[in-house]
Structure 1
């Protein structure tokens, strides 16, 4: 007999099987709740996600860039997009925020003009979001 068993027998301590089972059940319930919470947060974040694809740009002149892009957004939600024009050193020479009202379509295409301070070499969509 080990020392621990002798002490447990002497002082009437017993390791209860039901206590261990209850402990593991509690750990299992907490782990399951955490998995469900993580799954829901992932789903909730993607429900309002907006994807954007830049399909082209045109440097019209020294002070104007036109950007063509397509967004995929939740139907019935307004969308805002940040557009920018950059020079050859990737410095921002033009910036514009555009807002679009809610629409029933899941995908929409837009063409926007960005005023610039200097000659731009590219135009792009920085990001889009549901406000």
Structure 2
């Protein structure tokens, strides 16, 4: 089994190849090469930044007795059931941290993300 570092290196190499190949391609093929390179960049950030872990950690103070891999589902269930609302202490901060972690992977240049990180 490969480590995440090795997998990240492989993804990075393929993304670099696609970016280089894009210049030699035209039309639809160039577009698809760009889309593929962008998808690999997202996968690479996912591996490196681990937003699911950051999201689970952010919910840890609210759900300390729930295993980390079950916290998001447990939080969603409490919100759907009306047990947690916007007034639940710490909930909005935890949700914001989770959204920021995911947005940092999906679209790291999103203007609001930069503003939130700077705040």
**TM-score by structure 1 length?**
0.29
Q: Which one has the largest radius of gyration? A: 1
Q: Which has the higher strand share?
A: 1
Q: Taking CA–CA contacts closer than 8 Å with sequence separation of 6 or more, which of the two structures ends up with the larger relative contact order?
A: 1
